[in-house]
A and B are shown apart, each in its own frame.
Chain A
Amino acid sequence: MEFFRIRKDIPFMKHALVFNVISLVTFLLAVFFLATKGLHFSVEFTGGTLMEVSYSEPPALEKLREALAKEGYADAQVQNFGSSRDVLIRLPNRDGIETAKVSKKVIASLGAIEGPKPEMRRVEFVGPQVGKELASDGAMALLLVIGGIVLYLAMRFEWRFAVSAIIANLHDVIIILGFFALFQWEFSLPVLAATLAVLGYSVNESVVVFDRVRETFKKKRGLTTPEVLDHAITSTISRTIITHGSTQIMVLSMLLFGGETLYYFSLALTIGICFGIYSSVLVASPLVMWLGVSREQFMQVKKEKQEIVV
């Protein structure tokens, strides 16, 4: 079986400008949604109490809300979760309430309602100081990833490659966040982990293409820079699609079988993988071209490399 039977190099670079405009528009849209709608942060970031309660038969949510309001939690969010028998309750942190005792009180007041009795499945309580730290830790992790990748690529390739790879992939990250803002999906810690993993993963995609670019520059003389890029992309496109397809199969499996906890995690990965293909091939490469990559830079690199080998 073979999916890709490409006779000639596909002239990707001819349309470089179009791709870059598309990217820019999606990017700006993502930024727009982030700015206007903002992310729907999970309890881990905002602080508060989250409870998952299970009933033997579907309870009337309205009654639960009333019971909680009577208890003084008028701002409680009560919603179904997964099935109609599972209920998710969110309570924001408030001053003057002994936050650590909230879950106990809620269970007591839910138990007092007539009808099916609740079974506590999961409680998560996060104090206000923890959330802030998580946000700053997340930002630090992002910075470390960016710095580390740029440094490594600059060492192994050239700064132009490093810069364009990281721009292309940050664009992915922003777009993932844009999706989460647009649909108001819950942004939790696993989603953050997925986002950063995607960053590492799609940089790896750019690396494969760049590797080919370097090789083509060295092997084939007389090609212009766009031609070299076209050749590199064309000869790796089959691998790109198949690799991403395989990873996506795995992610899809998590999306289908992983349940609620892994749902948004795999959703972030799905978006990341789809845009990862696009951006590393069609954004990173034109960027390298705009930044002015040329054969001469690799001739130097080659010499250095030989020295290292010796």
Chain B
Amino acid sequence: MNRYPLWKNLLIGIVMLWGLIYTLPNFYGEVPAVQVSSGKATLKLDAGATTKRLEESLAAAGIQHDGLFADLTSVRARFRDTDTQLKAKDAIEKAFNPNAADPSYVVALNLLSASPQWLTSIHALPMYLGLDLRGGVHFLLQVDMKGAVTKRLDATTGDLRTLLRDKNVRHAGITREGQSVVVKFRDVETQARAKSVISASTNDLQLVEGTEGADFKLSATLTPMAQKTIQEFAIKQNITTLHNRINELGVAEPVIQQQGLDRIVVQLPGVQDVAKAKDILGRTATLEIRMVDDTPGALESAMQGSIPPGTELYSERGGSPLLVKKQVVLTGERLTDAQPGFDGQNHEPAVHLTLDSAGARIFKDVTRENINKRMAILLIEKGKGEVVTAPVIRGEIGGGRVQISGRMSSEEATDTALLLRAGSLAAPMEIIEERTIGPSLGAENISKGFHSTLWGFVAIGVFMCAYYMLFGLVSVIALASNLLLLVALLSLLQATLTLPGIAAIALTLGMAIDANVLINERIREELRNGSSPQAAISAGYERAFDTILDSNVTTLIAGIALLVFGSGPVRGFAVVHCLGILTSMFSALLVSRGLVNLIYGKRRKLEKLAIGQIWKAEA
């Protein structure tokens, strides 16, 4: 009766083999590698072609590689040592990015698993280590959603002005007041006409009529739907922008994810230059195009302290002051691309901007009306603005293709293009959480976590074997299989392993032994009550099952609660904890029973079980 049917033994065997295969990659360690991935949103990586190009460029430089690997987003080459890796990186950088000022590819140093090809091809990868184990930077950024809405309202102010003028509706002023745009009129008829004109042109605005003194007014607020769309767009746009910026850093495996409604997580493994990373991320710049106030004398009076209403004083990048109108013509949202290049006629360095259709229309109108005036392109960072450039409008510019040129070196053109492109955040962001872990600390954390698990396991193993003899050994083997399966599962799911995660592995092992103790104690008790050894084994496992199930479910409830509400280190703990409970159920019930069955199941006349001393109370 203590025999498993063949299929059950096979099942256990197959699961253990599976566990072994997926655990294997963790033992191979890592080798230096260089990774090539696309540096531009517009550039799709062609794996085949890139691999070929990579191979050729390495061959041209006379560098030997230890294998090339391609996936959907990147191609990686393994190298024997870090010296070769660094040499290879330079060679690849030159081959892939001939124009260093405008790199199309990200060439980054990386570490690859040293496991054999066949393991990688069945997706058996080593566990994905968290930042606290491998070192790197973690940022949590809060997107200022109110800022996004305000920005849209400012743009709306301009849109309404253009719209009403196009339709010949005379208004007495358009201003943004808090979260609404107020349009004033002299009479009721115009107000009514304006209302119908505005509501015909857009669905995003809610209009409320009112009066102010002798004037009639319309208050326009964004509908909740429109606000939601703006916010969703803002976070998406910001994530894209962050991607572009981080590509500059050349990080091998950056993580940029939305968290909740208005937050973005950025993780940069292996990045040590935190200051640079922060500079690039923290550049919470937004782009605005406004007109320069060229009224004679206005600048001089502003310099003396009396700034004309509706204007602001800024300084150009060269340092000279500039009086800029407050009214925003265009924002960075309308900009789809900015590239450095050369003027078609006089071959001066220039920046080519591409605007979206709405932006192109506005730009066409503005340039037509303002020929020979100057327009300022401002980069607003943390409330402070800087004029990137203030070119003179030479003629009407249609089609959304804009060229900024004049008094620029080609380096400046590249810088400006980058600033404009990367600078276009849809909404300001702020770093609200930062975690930096040095590489030495990461390695130390791994060894600490590993040692605590190891010594705990050894101590438990010795005790169990001494206390329960053969059954103790079976328990230890079951516990080892639990560890194997847990590591395999973590490797397969590529769940992030953190130091609290390693603690959870240790704790899971410490708790999982409970099931085995329960079973062994039960078997002893059955023997004590006079059952035959075979019956004792069977009854022990069966009776213990209910208890094991109940206790694991309650532990699992706590684990799931941590998973649902936990963040950061708690989540890392909870994932491993929950998985560990599942694997420990399997190993304690099936694996240990299977082993006991193999050892004792075939013996008919079994006199004694090697489960340690059974002491019977004399009746």
Q: A121-B441, A123-B274, A197-B558 are in contact. Are A207 and B615 (CB under 8 A)?
A: no
Q: Which residue of B lies closest to A4 (CB)?
A: B615
Q: What does the 1/0 interface line of B452-468 toward A look like (CB < 8 Å)?
A: 11011101100110110
Say yes or no: is B509 at the interface (Cβ < 8 Å to chain A).
yes
Contact of A243 among B503, B507, B518, B613 (CB under 8 A): B518
Pairwise interchain contact B561-A123, C-beta atoms closer than 8 A: no
Pairwise interchain contact B432-A126, C-beta atoms closer than 8 A: yes
Q: Which residue of B lies closest to A235 (CB)?
A: B525
Q: Which residues of A contact B (CB under 8 A)?
A: 1-2, 5-7, 44, 52, 54, 99-101, 103-104, 119-127, 129-130, 134, 137-138, 140-142, 144-145, 148-149, 152-153, 156, 189-190, 192-193, 196-197, 199-201, 203-205, 207-208, 211, 235-236, 238-239, 242-243, 245-254, 256-259, 261-262, 265-266, 269
CB distance from A194 to the nearest CB of B (A): 8
Say yes or no: is B15 at the interface (Cβ < 8 Å to chain A).
no
Pairwise interchain contact A130-B432, C-beta atoms closer than 8 A: yes
Q: Cα distance A137–B510 when bound, in Å?
A: 27
CB distance from A310 to the nearest CB of B (A): 18
Q: Which residue of B lies closest to A137 (CB)?
A: B565
A-B contact pairs, 20 of them (CB 8 A): A1-B613, A2-B613, A100-B434, A129-B432, A138-B565, A144-B565, A145-B561, A196-B562, A197-B507, A201-B511, A203-B551, A204-B552, A207-B554, A238-B521, A247-B510, A250-B456, A251-B510, A253-B451, A254-B506, A257-B451
Pairwise interchain contact B514-A243, C-beta atoms closer than 8 A: yes
Q: Cα distance A249–B509 when bound, in Å?
A: 11
Q: How many residues of B contact A (CB 8 A)?
A: 79
Pairwise interchain contact B562-A1, C-beta atoms closer than 8 A: no
Interface residues of B in 414-469 (CB under 8 A from A): 430-438, 440-441, 444-445, 448-449, 451-453, 455-457, 459-460, 463-464, 466-467
CB distance from A167 to the nearest CB of B (A): 15
Q: Which residue of B lies closest to A251 (CB)?
A: B510
Say yes or no: is B567 at the interface (Cβ < 8 Å to chain A).
yes
Chain B residue numbers with a CB within 8 Å of A254 are: 452, 456, 503, 506-507
Interface residues of B in 549-606 (CB under 8 A from A): 550-562, 564-570, 573-574, 577
Chain A residue numbers with a CB within 8 Å of B157 are: none
Q: What does the 1/0 interface line of B518-554 toward A look like (CB < 8 Å)?
A: 1001001100000000000000000000110011111
Interface residues of B in 603-618 (CB under 8 A from A): 612-615, 617
CB distance from B507 to the nearest CB of A (A): 7
Contact of A153 among B274, B554, B614 (CB under 8 A): B554
Chain A residue numbers with a CB within 8 Å of B72 are: none
Q: Cα distance A13–B453 when bound, in Å?
A: 39
CB distance from B470 to the nearest CB of A (A): 13
Q: A129-B142, A204-B552, A247-B513 are in contact. Are A253 and B453 (CB under 8 A)?
A: yes
Chain B residue numbers with a CB within 8 Å of A205 are: 551
Say yes or no: is B282 at the interface (Cβ < 8 Å to chain A).
yes
Contact of B569 among A100, A101, A190 (CB under 8 A): A190
Pairwise interchain contact B275-A243, C-beta atoms closer than 8 A: no
Say yes or no: is B517 at the interface (Cβ < 8 Å to chain A).
yes
Contact of B445 among A104, A261, A269 (CB under 8 A): A261
Pairwise interchain contact A261-B570, C-beta atoms closer than 8 A: no
Q: A149-B554, A239-B517, A258-B448 are in contact. Are A124 and B434 (CB under 8 A)?
A: yes
Contact of B436 among A103, A130, A204, A251 (CB under 8 A): A103
Pairwise interchain contact A207-B551, C-beta atoms closer than 8 A: yes
Most B-side CB within 10 Å, residue of A104, A125, A193? A193
CB distance from B520 to the nearest CB of A (A): 9
Pairwise interchain contact B517-A242, C-beta atoms closer than 8 A: yes
CB distance from A73 to the nearest CB of B (A): 17
Q: Cα distance A235–B525 when bound, in Å?
A: 9
Pairwise interchain contact A253-B517, C-beta atoms closer than 8 A: no
Pairwise interchain contact A193-B615, C-beta atoms closer than 8 A: no
Q: Cα distance A124–B577 when bound, in Å?
A: 25
Q: Cα distance A243–B555 when bound, in Å?
A: 15
Pairwise interchain contact A152-B553, C-beta atoms closer than 8 A: yes
Say yes or no: is B53 at the interface (Cβ < 8 Å to chain A).
no
Q: Which residues of B contact A (CB under 8 A)?
A: 132, 140, 142, 274-275, 278, 282, 430-438, 440-441, 444-445, 448-449, 451-453, 455-457, 459-460, 463-464, 466-467, 499-500, 503, 506-507, 509-511, 513-514, 517-518, 521, 524-525, 546-547, 550-562, 564-570, 573-574, 577, 612-615, 617
CB distance from B450 to the nearest CB of A (A): 9
Chain B residue numbers with a CB within 8 Å of A140 are: 565
Chain A residue numbers with a CB within 8 Å of B437 are: 121-122
Pairwise interchain contact A141-B436, C-beta atoms closer than 8 A: no
Pairwise interchain contact A257-B436, C-beta atoms closer than 8 A: no
Chain B residue numbers with a CB within 8 Å of A207 are: 547, 550-551, 554
Chain B residue numbers with a CB within 8 Å of A122 are: 435-438, 441
Most B-side CB within 10 Å, residue of A130, A137, A238, A246? A246
CB distance from A223 to the nearest CB of B (A): 17
Contact of B431 among A1, A100, A242, A248 (CB under 8 A): A100
Chain B residue numbers with a CB within 8 Å of A249 are: 456, 459-460, 463, 510
Q: Which residue of B lies closest to A102 (CB)?
A: B434
CB distance from A279 to the nearest CB of B (A): 14
Pairwise interchain contact B564-A253, C-beta atoms closer than 8 A: no
Contact of A199 among B514, B551, B558, B570 (CB under 8 A): B558
Pairwise interchain contact B514-A125, C-beta atoms closer than 8 A: no
Chain A residue numbers with a CB within 8 Å of B564 are: 141, 144
CB distance from A143 to the nearest CB of B (A): 8
Chain A residue numbers with a CB within 8 Å of B434 are: 100, 103, 123-126
Chain A residue numbers with a CB within 8 Å of B464 are: 246
Chain B residue numbers with a CB within 8 Å of A239 are: 517-518, 521
Q: Cα distance A125–B137 when bound, in Å?
A: 11
Q: Cα distance A142–B566 when bound, in Å?
A: 11
Contact of B460 among A129, A141, A152, A246 (CB under 8 A): A246
Q: Cα distance A24–B285 when bound, in Å?
A: 59
Chain B residue numbers with a CB within 8 Å of A6 are: 617
CB distance from B431 to the nearest CB of A (A): 4
CB distance from B39 to the nearest CB of A (A): 26
Q: Which residue of B lies closest to A269 (CB)?
A: B507
Chain A residue numbers with a CB within 8 Å of B567 are: 134, 137
Q: A123-B274, A137-B565, A250-B509 are in contact. Are A196 and B456 (CB under 8 A)?
A: no
Q: Which residue of B lies closest to A3 (CB)?
A: B467
Q: A197-B507, A200-B555, A204-B555 are in contact. Are A192 and B570 (CB under 8 A)?
A: yes
Chain A residue numbers with a CB within 8 Å of B433 are: 125-127, 130
Pairwise interchain contact A189-B568, C-beta atoms closer than 8 A: yes
Q: A1-B612, A201-B511 are in contact. Are A190 and B503 (CB under 8 A)?
A: yes
Q: Which residue of B lies closest to A200 (CB)?
A: B558
Q: Which residue of B lies closest to A238 (CB)?
A: B521
Q: Cα distance A239–B543 when bound, in Å?
A: 14
Q: Cα distance A243–B464 when bound, in Å?
A: 10
Q: A190-B573, A250-B456 are in contact. Are A145 and B518 (CB under 8 A)?
A: no
Chain A residue numbers with a CB within 8 Å of B570 are: 189-190, 192-193
Q: Cα distance A245–B510 when bound, in Å?
A: 9
CB distance from B573 to the nearest CB of A (A): 5
Pairwise interchain contact B615-A2, C-beta atoms closer than 8 A: yes
Q: A189-B570, A259-B448, A261-B445 are in contact. Are A127 and B430 (CB under 8 A)?
A: yes
Chain A residue numbers with a CB within 8 Å of B431 are: 99-100, 125, 127
Q: Cα distance A265–B612 when bound, in Å?
A: 35
Pairwise interchain contact B436-A256, C-beta atoms closer than 8 A: no
